[in-house]
Amino acid sequence: MSDTSQDDQSIRSLLVSVKTDATNLFKAQAELTKAELNETKREAGTTGGAFFIALIFGALGFVFLLVSIAWLLVFFGLPEWAGFGIVTLALLLIAAVGGIVGIVNAKKIKGPRLSKIEWEKTRAALTGGSPEQALETTPTSATAKSGSSENH
């Protein structure tokens, strides 16, 4: 009888250990996900700021373009419109630079790649999937899998 109760206690201690390890694993993965999402949020904010600058300077450029055309029509042949035209071109150039910076930053945003990989590894381990397959997952293949399934 003592062997059975000893076996029961060792099984209980194993179950408690598994529960503790699983809890710690999920907490660590949640922290990783949170950290990656904060980084993505920061990158998205920077990108949004660049697009906002492009929008403001583009709108101002359009206003100055209209004013320049008006001065051109009113004072055809007079030099006042040239000043307005130069300001318009400068504003549009600033808008173009802001737009390019926004596009470059938007292409750099990747999202929580590492978290996705770790969640896949955990899911594979808990569902009886092969640990080798989970460990072979790379950020590129995880992104390709999720990207191809999202497009369909």
Rounded CA Rg of the chain: 29
User: Burial level of 126, CB count in 10 A (0-12/13-18/19+)?
Assistant: exposed
Q: Is the dihedral of CA 44, 46, 52, 57 positive or negative?
A: negative
**What is the pTM assigned to this prediction?**
0.39
Alpha carbons 118 and 125: distance in angstroms, whole number = 11
pLDDT tens by residue, 52-111: 999 999 989 888 777 777 676 666 665 665 666 676 777 788 899 999 999 999 888 887
pLDDT tens by residue, 8-30: 778 888 888 888 888 888 888 88
The per-residue pLDDT for 116 is 83
Q: How far is CA 54 from CA 96, 110, 144, 145, in A?
A: 7, 23, 31, 34
DSSP 34-54: HHHHHHHHHHHHHHHHHHHHH
Q: Domain ranges in the chain? A: 32-111, 113-152
